[in-house]
Amino acid sequence: MTKKIILAGVSAMLLVAVVIGAVSGVMRSTNNFKISSQEKIKIHTVSRSIESICQITDYKEACLETLNAASPDNKTADPKTIVTASIKATFTEFSQAAGKSKEISTETMDNMNKVALSDCQELLEYAVEELQDAIESSDEGDAENIRRRSKDLKNWLSAVMSYQVVCIDGLTQPELKANMTNNLGKATELTKNALAIITEITRLLESMKGALNLKNDVMGAVAGGGAAGRKLLNSDVGGRYPEWFSASDRKLLRATNVAPMRVKPNAVVAKDGSGQYKTIQHAIDAIPKDNKGRYIIYVKAGVYRENVIISKKILNVFMYGDGSRKTIVTGNKNFVDGTPTFRTATFAVMGNGFICKWMGFQNTAGPSKHQAVALRVQSDMSAFFSCRMDAYQDTLYAQTHRQFYRNCIISGTIDFIFGMSSVVIQNCLIVIRKPMDNQKNIVTASGRTYKYEDTGIIIHNCRIVPDRFLAPIRTQIKSYLGRPWKEYARTVYMESQIGDLIQPEGWMEWRGNFALRTLYYAEYNNKGPGADTSKRVHWPGYHILKTRADALKFTAGSFIEGGSWIKYSGIPSILGFKR
């Protein structure tokens, strides 16, 4: 009840601030007024709103310090200033933490921790870059821009949370782990605060659309434009797609969906020497640094034994092969042999806008080597079509950002679809393999670490089946839909066919009662013998969704804003529900 009163107060105060700010701002610009009594009301109202906004954060003192520092005279604490200030403070802390990570001595470290520390340094640089993008986005335009770009802002901040977790989880030396955790303590607090602030400000702005429209109408009228006013930034429906999707790119990608040979690639990879390159990595490394638009790589049939990395600076790559069983990238790096999970991936893609079709990715280390990733994806607005990912533990590492998989085959044993991204896996075949003796199978492990992150694993219209080795003994080995890797794990199965190998309780604990109250697991309209929910777990965080409206927010159109970018990838999709 108290929280509702606080939030109502915040909404009312910000509403007054925006409306008064709109009117008084126009008056100042047209009549050159001095600070009026109305302006004083605005100042007082916004001052109170800062304190109220901080009540919804987990680290209130840090929040007050951040926002008051951005508005020492209480004159500029409008929604845009509040959001931008929270992100800038986070950026400052991460920049400092990144610097400190480079000062840590490696003299007493084993090789795995040396590599893990190097990973930390790289990940923290990624965090700084993501925060720079968020600052640039929040700093332009007005409150309407904050509302419109809120999904992007939370996407960047959720990725920042991921980088922290991956960094610390990769360290095994207790003293080093504690040192890094301490270095990142304030940065973690501020990231969570920023996520909470953006969530609440967006909610309030959504409820205040009428006030924002009033602002535009008043400005338009004063300027002589009538009630219509100016056109809002990017107000055209469906116009917000990534800048690299030019009109020619969209036409090109649609063409590849039906006739790939009509497309002229920029580079051809072939093991037999019939292309410009014999390895995929050589083709990636040869992409011109000043390349504009989409870069197309055709990988001919063959087994490519290499570990491929597409760095964060390499954007807009479209790669396609001759089929997921013909064009195969394979490797065997693994945790047991001394490689941190983050580095075991056979194929890792970080550059935004990556699209891949008709290729296979394998990690052949085997179940005894534990974590061994076939495909790791950090690329925002990335999409995979008719691809195959095969390994055992940790097959598909959907690490960060918005991702979409369609008509793919994903196989494994333990946590074989995992990560901290916002990912929709649609119309795919999910194959559970035979594990080692005394092991259990778990399909998913969501790494969502905070309640305001827009992340989670969505399995939509898929089939969950055993492979041919597990099938005869599928009732003797326990298999589960998922377990909570992190405290706010979120996984939803919708309209999928679930085989009888899944245990009646459906879901498995990670460790005792850990996360059972804070996770969000849900099922909606699934079918098959393993879809019976009558004996499912009774955890506070488990839900059976009753209506389409409840489930709609987890569809590709809503959860990853698929309507604004998937259609430009040339990949078919169901943005809502088929029927």
Catalytic positions, written as ranges: 415
- Residues 69, 87: Cα–Cα separation, whole Å: 13
Q: Which candidate, 449, 424, 450, 430, places its Cα nearest to that of 552?
A: 424
What is the b/e burial string over 136-148, where b = at least 16 CB atoms within 10 angstroms of the residue's CB? ebbeebbbbbbbb
- Residues 370, 338: Cα–Cα separation, whole Å: 11
- Residues 48, 53: Cα–Cα separation, whole Å: 9
Residue 467 makes CB contacts below 8 A (sequence gap 6+) with 411, 431, 432, 433, 434
Within 23-89, strands assigned E span none
Give Cα 216 to chain centroid, integer Å. 33
DSSP character string of 510-559: SSTTTTTTT-EEEEES-BSGGG--TT----TTEEE--SHHHHHTTSHHHH
The answer to whether the Cα torsion of 24, 38, 68, 204 is positive or negative is negative
Q: Which candidate, 146, 153, 144, 148, places its Cα nearest to that of 240?
A: 148
Instruction: State the chain's maximal CA–CA distance in angstroms.
Output: 83
Q: Which candidate, 491, 471, 474, 475, places its Cα nearest to that of 483?
A: 491
